[in-house]
A and B are shown apart, each in its own frame.
Chain A
Amino acid sequence: MMTWSRTLVAGVALILVTNAVALVGAAYNRAGDPESVLKLTQRELSLPYSWGFEGENSGITLRLCWRVLGAEPQGALGPERSYPGVRGAPDWLDKAKLVALGFDVSTPPDTLAGRRHYDKLLPKEVLLVLDLDGPAYHRMLERAKQYSEREEALHLANPGDKEFERRAKWAKEELDREERESSRLFVIDAGLDVGALRAKYPDRTRYAIVRGQIRLQLAEKEKHPVLSGYVNDLSIDHITVPLGFRQVFEPMLHNARRGQYDTVSRYEVSVAFGKRLEPWITTASATSE
């Protein structure tokens, strides 16, 4: 057995070196100019819930609400609602993109071997491009508008019909949510090289490059297996609020913990993404509108 003095030295060294590696890494991430800085609001950064153990957590972490824009809706149905943080199959994540990301998609999906092959593929970590208030969001907004107009027209053409009245009301609420509440942060591209993605998306105040996972999934479409790429998750989707900005969120959290979720919290937060693409909050303030 080791003597206690050697153990003490070895253990202290291990703890210090581990902390040093983590802290130097964090300092390196934040050194120099950030890779990108996005000005986000309560639409893109949600407050934590306070159920379970979270109720005892004195720290505040904001959840990054990202979305994807799926394919154009078919038929008379409304736009497929894209919930923040929920995996989704964007239209840009096609076969060519999947190949570029390193997925082996050479096996036809409509064979037994193909099904087996794609069932076994697990998520890969890649670089994702987040777009704030860009064309993806505006297309989603446009779809919600068209859907609302269509439902309103049907309602007017069928006066007194409760079903059309309910649908028109729901579509209007959807549009309202899309205009005022839903996240405007969309995952719009993926790649393996930061430089190449930054060259393609040079605006550092609108596009952030982050790490996330893509996975493949076989879906059934008209009784045929269709291969889709899914944005599975972001590697970091929670951002810790430092003590200096705590007073911005404290009153809103207090309301939430008292169950007053109907009070809309409004704030603006600058989130920087550093050399290692890890985020941190640089400014935060409460806003009236």
Chain B
Amino acid sequence: MSVPSRTEAQQRADDIRVFQRELERLEREGVLVPTEAQRRAVADHHHGLLAQYAEAFDIDRDVRAKQLSLGMRIASFLGALALAASVFFLFYQFWGWFPTTAQVAILLLAALGTFGVTVWIHGRAGTGYLTQLAAMVAFACFVLNVVMLGQIFNITPSDKALIPWAALALLLAYTCDLRLLLAAGILCFIAFVSARTGTWSGMYWLYFGERPENFFPAAVALFFIPQVIRHERFAGFAAVYRVFGLLTLFLPVLVLANWGQVSYLDLDHDVVEGFYQVFGFVGSAAAIWLGARRHWPEVVNTGVTFFVIFLYTKFFDWWWEIMPKYLFFLVVGLTAVLILVVLRRLRTTGFTLQGGGTP
């Protein structure tokens, strides 16, 4: 039997655990009593499947393992960041003592070596915490490689460096099924597309962050990537794209809704701010509607979060100065209750907010 990803293997293992519990209940209640032969056949089949998944993907076989795995995931993430920082500072500490040829060779070999080790670990240990750790270090070594080449040879800074960084991060993400590396690749993609958008207006690329509208093309592209490229074999990837798409859209809108002077729009600041405030409300409401309709819980949650932020920002603007604080917070609290009521009605009137998130 072929299993496309770790996430799907984990899902199957969880299903088996639920099935076993329910079967025990049915037996106790006398609803279903399988024969000994049937019971053994099912148990052997499940045992074989779980052993196969555990060997291939390092999955959590029981509840205890699942509880521990959250801690392992956090440790793996922090460890990956710490190791990446360690590699950077190790090089920083000694690079000045090497001739240029040795510096280049060390940087190149570090990038190649850590990448090779990542692929090797992935081949031996499957998609596990160690693979994520190794992949993050490999990515950090490659970033360090390019940055330090720029420093050693005094090369003019260029946004083009973001392309190979994004490419390597995405290669590791798709090969090893790692969402952390997918996020790193997406961040490089956002920075590159936004910098390019900025340079079309004539600005120096490093200033792309000063015009939040530069992020909009990247936001649209990210949101629609899972629509164009199917991600069934990469569980959770489509959701990561959509969440980053929405963050890349709504964070700049939030900035523009409060500081209209940083917009490209050649209009009065108040008009620009008003436009983006309306855009923020309509956009986040549309995200909630779309997410609920397409069974994308992450889109609903991001939409709700931004709707609330836009709403509270306006409340602050309107009432913080003029209202007694108890009344201000009462209004904020009552609004939260109202939002809960609306979402509850949505849930009971046919929208399913849970589900597999088909891209």
Contacts and interface: CB of A to CB of B under 8 A. Distances in A.
B48 interface: no
A178 B98 CA distance: 37
B6 to A, nearest CB: 10
A278 B155 contact: yes
Contact of A15 (B115, B122, B123, B174): B115
B69 to A, nearest CB: 21
Contacts of A277: 156
Interface string B100-134: 10001001100110011001001100000000000
A1 B4 contact: yes
Interface in A45-78: 53, 56-61
A25 B155 contact: yes
B60 interface: no
Contact of B149 (A10, A23, A242): A23
A7 B171 contact: yes
Contacts of B107: 19
A238 interface: yes
Interface in B152-197: 152-157, 164, 167-168, 171-172, 174-175, 177
A2 B175 contact: yes
A19 B203 CA distance: 28
B89 interface: yes
Nearest to B108: A19
Interface string A7-46: 1101110111111001101100100000000000000000
A243 interface: yes
Interface residues of B, number: 57
B99 to A, nearest CB: 5
A120 interface: yes
A116 B150 CA distance: 37
Contacts of A244: 99
Contact of B99 (A18, A56, A243): A243
Contact of B151 (A18, A61, A211, A246): A61
Interface stretch (B204-212, B249-257, B289-297, B345-353): B204-212
Given A7-B171, A117-B266, A280-B154, A19 B145 contact: yes
Interface string B215-229: 000000000000000
Contacts of B175: 1-2, 4, 7
Interface of A: 1-2, 4, 7-8, 10-12, 14-19, 22-23, 25-26, 29, 53, 56-61, 102, 113, 116-117, 119-120, 122-125, 211, 213, 235-236, 238-240, 242-244, 246, 276-280
Given A11-B171, A243-B100, A278-B155, 11 more contacts: A11-B115, A15-B142, A16-B108, A18-B142, A22-B155, A23-B153, A57-B92, A57-B93, A124-B202, A240-B153, A242-B99
8 closest A-B pairs by beta carbon, nearest first, are: A58-B96, A59-B96, A26-B153, A122-B203, A18-B164, A7-B175, A125-B204, A22-B149
6 contacts: A12-B112, A14-B164, A14-B171, A122-B207, A239-B154, A280-B154
